[in-house]
Structure 1
């Protein structure tokens, strides 16, 4: 029996739901958009990188479990073409706008998702950045608390907030450091969180432009080690700073930080992942929005690991994943190609144990694992 067939048989008991889909080109982003739509985009170096807004399969739009279903049941609702690779895409809340970024510079592209009578995603403007030429691509985050804003930057000393529609600059962070950024996020309409590729974590308040607070440094490591972060959306009525921040390194180190007490780690652990390969291009870590203390990591190989962090401490011991999604590993065309690498994953916003993941072979999976007996959640 071939490995893929064996895995499919195992899936009958490992998954409550499993859907597979083959994209025309691989994506390194999966972004939730208005109406439970999903956006993906190509990241190739050609002039024809598609941006697609997909209608998810029915099982993602209902509470009922519909079983294993390997059909191509994502539907393309609308799409457009980008002349540059799309490395990041963010939906602007309460609008029909998307913002994208990617090489060869740090400028941003703004897109309009057309009205219901059209299936076109069209380019509407470009947000230029100071000294953008020669800089790496911008990491981006969006919010619409006061107005449609985009937080963007490629380095710590080049972080800005720009009003999306007017392209007016509304904030520039003050920093003497010039480290490359790996991730950034709005905690709320005033607080920003910035993570450098070195693992440095900084908190900024737009009401105090000169204020940049650094959290506890990550454990000492080789200078080649790369880091990214994952933030959790604050529960209604709670302070955004009360939600822990997770950092992941290319060696598989995991560091949890409580932003209300940045002088020490909340927890440290070591993920069971293979040794880093050529780089950390696809490192991804994310908190489950509907499961307390659960997070997922990917970017090391063709798998996605899910962890329950509630028992972690500051010892840095190896953590045991509660589930490993191996489906992308079997997606290659025989043994003639390198095994696929997971490029991104994201959690369903309402279904607690449902994730979406994509890989370098163009596969897109939706999966909901079976919770082992005796486990809550």
Structure 2
């Protein structure tokens, strides 16, 4: 196995930029506020958890490399405390409002990031239709003139609630008890859902519940838990939906035909995810056909899906970030697990990743070929 010393030497060649930080507690959320700030929040039970609005180091906020900068660390811009674990956090675009979800799942919390203070304050809550025990509501934000919060733990409890009036503007109206793993707003009228079983659907809220959907993850699926993300090319031709299973199966789908995956490949993971709730697959916002995967171990894997075709083939990552393992010199059986990652909105190959040891990394891998 590669040693920490070997990796540190190799990292000089592998990375264009690399910044490592330690949070006060591990986070499952990395939510952008603009392109210079990000929100993190703790998820430990039986304690208060910090919610922090951090600004990126100046070097990562400029468009071009302009040499050395005196500020190389994140700065805490605003902060607050939640008395419950935060499993998800969404920023309402064009506002200073945050919405959080977690356990117990009795309600969503609404927070204000003030202009005249550095304290993030709880300003309200959104009632959840039914308490789901160990399940917590998934969320997404409709950012229109009157922002709405899409939330639900199961398909039967899915609804859109107006953030200001708290009136329900849409609900699924079905008795389907399928457990949700993710929700994603696509535009002013449509959203996507992914169930833990791998079931996917696209919903138009201008109509009664009649989703365009599949009923299973795809050929060769062996159960487990699934997550998914829709890329920015949802309305265009070709695959723009990525669906990831806890055993490492990764399916690409065309939104016009969800029942027949365009390709179904295997990621090189040594074992199924130890915590499938932390599975994450994301499309790069500025790189065609590039996506990132995490939640299996202490790494983040970046793939170029341009040439993927067929079913069952094993694919190799374009780049693997191993910094969460080697910087702490962890033993293989005690290595941290990556809890989440996100792409920078504008810097093409820059990602943020967080791990269960409370480490937070910002990294930009060096371009070695024009794969993306």
Aligned to 2:344: 348
Alpha-carbon separation, structure 1, partners of 2:235 and 2:222: 35
| Equivalent in the alignment of 1:195 | 194
How many corresponding residue pairs?
370
1:163 aligns to what?
A: 162
Partners in 1 of 2:15 and 2:274 — Cα distance? 32
Shift of 1:54: 0.2
Task: Indicate the residue corresponding to 1:145 in structure 2.
Answer: 144
Residues 1:249 and 2:248 are matched in the alignment: no
Question: Which segment drifts farther, 353-362 or 42-51?
Answer: 42-51
| Kept in 2: contact 1:245–1:256 (CA 8 A) | yes
TM-score scaled by structure 1?
0.92
- Residue 68 of structure 1 and its aligned partner are, at CA, apart by 10
After superposition, residues 261-276 of structure 1 pair within 5 angstroms as 261-276=257-272
Unaligned runs of 5+ in 1: none
Query: Is the CA contact 1:110–1:123 (under 8 Å) kept in the aligned structure 2?
Result: yes
What is the TM-score normalised by the length of structure 2?
0.93
Tell me the CA shift for residue 240 of structure 1. 7.2
Moved over 6 A (4+): 66-69, 240-243
Determine which of 288, 295, 298 is the counterpart of 1:292. 288
Q: CA separation in 2, counterparts of 1:300 and 1:166?
A: 41
| Aligned match of 1:217 | 216
Determine which of 313, 317, 322 is the counterpart of 1:321.
317
Match of 2:299 in 1: 303
CA deviation after TM superposition for structure 1 residue 337, in Å: 7.9
Deviation at 1:212, TM superposition (A): 2.3
- Determine the structure 2 residue equivalent to 1:45: 45
| Residues 309 and 133 (structure 1), Cα distance of their counterparts in 2 relative to 1, 3 Å cut | closer
Which stretches in structure 2 are left out of the alignment for 5+ residues? none
Residue 370 (structure 1) aligns with: 366
- CA–CA separation in structure 2 for the residues paired with 1:337 and 1:266: 36
SS in 1 for 2:351: strand
The 1:365/1:67 distance shift into structure 2, 3 A limit, reads farther
1:74-128 Cα shifts (integer Å, max 9, x gaps): 000001100100000000011110000001115211000011x310110001101
